[in-house]
C-alpha cells in the first residue's frame, strides 16, 4: 500500500489514529487474514464483533476522509487478537513511504516519524521513568504453568519476571531504529565497517614493518628528491668527448 501520489506537492501526513489504521491493514497481511477473519480474532478481547464493513471503514482512515479514533481498550484488544505488542500498532509506515506525523503542533509537512518512535520506545531522558515503574514488578513471583497435549496443567515452579530485561531489549531496538534512520540498513553498514576494519588492520601491519606513517611518507619524499640529484651528478661526472 503506497501513499505517495504524483499530484501531491507536500508530504503525506498521518495522525496517530491513521497510523493505527494503517497497521490494522498491515496486520491482516502479516496474519493472512480477511477483514472478517481479523474481526473474529479480535472479538473476544474487544467484547463485540466488528462487521467487515466497520473493519474496512477503520482501515480506510488512512485516506483521511473519516478518521476513526481508537481508544486504549481497542488498542489492547487489537494487540491481543493479532498477537503483537500494542506498540506495533503505533509504529509509523516504512521510511520509503515518506509519511509525516500529523499533530497539532506540526507544520504542513508533519513531524519526523521518529517523534512517534521516541514516545513509543522512550529516549535517554524518558526511559528512567519507565524503568522506575517497571521495577515495582520485579519482586512479584508468578507460577510458570505449561499445558500438556492432554490438557493437564503442569506447574513448572515459580519465576520472577525480569521487567528490566525487557526494557533493555526496547533500548536496543530504539538504538537500532535510530541507526537505520541515519545510516540505512545497519546490517550492510556493519559489513562495510568490518571490511574497512580488515583494510585498516592490513595498513597497520605494513606500518609496523616499515615504521610510522610519517616516516614512510618522509622516506618516499626523500627518495623522490634524491633521485634527480643523483641523476644530475652522474651526468656531470661523464667524461667529455674530445
What are the backbone angles phi and psi of residue 59, rounded to the nearest 5°? Answer: -65, -35
Distances (CA, A) of 130 to 86, 91, 126, 183, 221: 16, 19, 7, 28, 61
The Cα–Cα gap between 105 and 115 comes to 12
- Cross-strand bridge partners of residue 100: 13
How would you class 134 by CB atoms within 10 Å of its CB: exposed for 0-12, middle for 13-18, buried for 19 or more?
middle
pLDDT in tens, 106-130: 999 999 999 999 999 888 898 888 8
Model pLDDT, residue 48: 96
Q: Is 13 helix (H, G, I), strand (E, B) or coil?
A: strand
Query: What domains are there in the chain, each with its CATH number?
Result: 1-121 (1.10.260.40), 123-184 (no CATH), 192-236 (no CATH)
Read off the pLDDT band of 67 (50, 70, 90).
Answer: very high
Model pLDDT, residue 231: 47
Distances (CA, A) of 44 to 77, 80, 167: 8, 9, 29
**Cell representation of residue 24:** 490494522
pTM: 0.62
**Cell representation of residue 221:** 619524499
Largest interatomic CA distance in the chain: 118
Amino acid at each position: 500500500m503506497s501513499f505517495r501520489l504524483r499530484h501531491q506537492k507536500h508530504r503525506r501526513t498521518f495522525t496517530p489514529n491513521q497510523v493505527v489504521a494503517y497497521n490494522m491493514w498491515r496486520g491482516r497481511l502479516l496474519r493472512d487474514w480477511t477483514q472478517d477473519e481479523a474481526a473474529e480474532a479480535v472479538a473476544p478481547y474487544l467484547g463485540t464483533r466488528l462487521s467487515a464493513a466497520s473493519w474496512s471503514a477503520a482501515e480506510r482512515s488512512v485516506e483521511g476522509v473519516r478518521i476513526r479514533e481508537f481508544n486504549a481498550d481497542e488498542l489492547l484488544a487489537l494487540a491481543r487478537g493479532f498477537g503483537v505488542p500494542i506498540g506495533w500498532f503505533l509504529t509509523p509506515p516504512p521510511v520509503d513511504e515518506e509519511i509525516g506525523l500529523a499533530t497539532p503542533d506540526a507544520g504542513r509537512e508533519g513531524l519526523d516519524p521518529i517523534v512517534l518512535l521516541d514516545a513509543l520506545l522512550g529516549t535517554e531522558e524518558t526511559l528512567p521513568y519507565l524503568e522506575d515503574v517497571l521495577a515495582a514488578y520485579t519482586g512479584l513471583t508468578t507460577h510458570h504453568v505449561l499445558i500438556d497435549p492432554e490438557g493437564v496443567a503442569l506447574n513448572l515452579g515459580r519465576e520472577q519476571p525480569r521487567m528490566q530485561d525487557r526494557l533493555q531489549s526496547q533500548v536496543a531496538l530504539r538504538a537500532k531504529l535510530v541507526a537505520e534512520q541515519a545510516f540505512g540498513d545497519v546490517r550492510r553498514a556493519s559489513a562495510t565497517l568490518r571490511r574497512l576494519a580488515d583494510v585498516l588492520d592490513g595498513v597497520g601491519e605494513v606500518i609496523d614493518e616499515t615504521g610510522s606513517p610519517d616516516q614512510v611518507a618522509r622516506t618516499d619524499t626523500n627518495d623522490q628528491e634524491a633521485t634527480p640529484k643523483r641523476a644530475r651528478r652522474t651526468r656531470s661526472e661523464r667524461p667529455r668527448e674530445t
